[in-house]
Amino acid sequence: MNSQIQKLQKLQKLAYILRVLVLATIALSVFYLVYQYVKNDALVLSTSELFTQLWQSEQSSHPVLALTLLPSFAILFLAGYWLQRLLANFQQGQFFCDDAIKSFFWLIWIKVISIGVTVVEDIAVAYYHSQFFEETKLVIGVDLGETLTIIFLLLVAHLLKQAKAIEAENKEFI
């Protein structure tokens, strides 16, 4: 029994360390993005070739381009919030509580939304690109591996939720 308590305490400590690392990673990412923008006049949040061409063009507006990336930037903070919330539950030893499962689902759906937002951003950038360049090739890539990972994570989250419900029923029965 003592061994199990020690294992739980180690997991809780690990969750705390991960929370600190997540916050540090987000802070460093924001610092890096701001630094690149201020020092090098570059927005490194997008890897789109069309975006890069527009950014380097004298004709396009940098504020308009920056606005196209605002949803991705917001998703970074939203994902950070829900990951912090999930790890806070883990830090308290609440691995299968309703809030932990809810946070896990939110993280999965944020990833799904992120894929959709990326597609919309690519379309918006391509449309803006077509205003200044004669040829615009829109390439929308959806990673099959990423899609399958999301499906598997949704299945695991659903199984965890069902297992928790069965466990609660069993406790009531006893």
DSSP string, 9-54: HHHHHHHHHHHHHHHHHHHHHHHHHHHHHHHH---TT---HHHHHH
pLDDT of residue 19: 96
DSSP string, 130-148: HTT-S---------HHHHH
Label residue 142 by pLDDT band (50, 70, 90).
confident
Are 43 and 61 in contact by the 8 Å Cβ rule? The answer is: no
For residue 49, pLDDT over 70 is answered with yes
pLDDT of residue 174: 64
Mean pLDDT over 65-73 rounds to 91
Are 72 and 114 in contact by the 8 Å Cβ rule? The answer is: yes
pLDDT of residue 23: 95
**Domain residue extents for the chain:** 2-173
For residue 169, pLDDT over 80 is answered with no
* CA–CA distance, 69 with 146 (Å, rounded to integer): 21
Mean pLDDT over 107-122 rounds to 93
* CA–CA distance, 37 with 52 (Å, rounded to integer): 13
